[in-house]
Structure 1
């Protein structure tokens, strides 16, 4: 017999729309299939770590960067407050491989008393590669033609969340239904050299960010940058040194003026799986 409704927060960060889409997909499925779960949806850009204390369950999502989470995500989780008897589900989106990203992101949760209840990683179009591909390339066409309205892996994850919520609502203890984070041995071997190569590439690419003469100074990149790394000086777009390589500025620029050197000129721009990703517009 159910004894209380569960308050669940889907909390996430999304650079170019993939994780945002999965978060909204989860909310829609949970809302339709579970009357006992009261669901809220927030981006970490629009939420403080203390706000999550009022929820019974956290469902945390992020995109995989260099077999880890973005710096903005790690900085947010570093500010978590210790708590008892709270469960967390973790999901990530990735272009190719997650490595041990989920295990790494669980560490600050575990340190502050959270129990892992489930995890999921799902392959989505890699927006770093997309920004350097021709608009009529095979990979771009494949990314656009995929059926994003029926994601079986996410549906299975949704069922797991509902199942656990029902158990908690019935009085089962977190300790009895929590699980260990996934561990991939190969990542401990491949991870370090991959990380080094990534850092070298990123260091090179960050120096290449610029706004071309097509820029209309609409300021959208300035407003949308999650780390306030972009500004306007003397009527020119200027990039600072705090870039986290989320590529939101490139994909969201309406004039397609933001570029990484010459590699992204005239190439494809991604606006989320359904083409409707708009940063800074989040709901509770």
Structure 2
């Protein structure tokens, strides 16, 4: 898509997956307002960045230093090659959940029982207090509102990665305005609305399952079964702030991608494993085991 810079008049080409650009001649930021569609509507809300570029780098360095002992040693001293702040499109979903459920509810009670044991070669009778559970069937209905389920609308940031850096502080949501994202990389939705709606419903159902389990009375429960209807569904596009970094931990390996919540600083990445460290650890454990065997065998 072509766009005329409002500052110097240069004709710019904006990639289809982006909604922002910066003029290479005068550095003026521009925002593309494309016609909305079913799968790519105009954003309704946006969350601003609270974490600076420098702070994001510091969070990633601290994260790298705290990884498990089998992480590739190059990660701790790796340079951060690229740090970009991206407004990632996500769908914000809410619904009313109506559930019907059945379960077995356990009520604990204590009972004193008599038992025999052997002490000093003699059989003696003793008593002890044991906990037993009485099970009863329960059926009922449960209704609740499921707000603020966030799922990715970007092919570039899978939902599992977005979920790993949640939650975002949605109290800071603002109505979208082009000025909020000017000068930043801002991505257009690249996943279909239906695919995202399916993801959101799955997350909402999982949330209802956890809440129903917590709602059950008694001391314990089992065989919880339920059927949930999601009604009065709401789905809006929201732009969320994410720092995306490339970490070069080894010359021969591709950079490791790390993402950081642009509000809270939560970091997510898949630390590379050093198989040399793993092998050395296994050999050390085997050596200790063999040494202990011969030591104990020699004393017997």
| TM-score for both structures, normalised by structure 1 | 0.19
Report 1 or 2 for greater relative contact order, CA contacts < 8 Å, sequence distance ≥ 6. 2
| Higher helix fraction (1 or 2) | 1
More strand by share: 2
Structure number with larger C-alpha Rg? 2
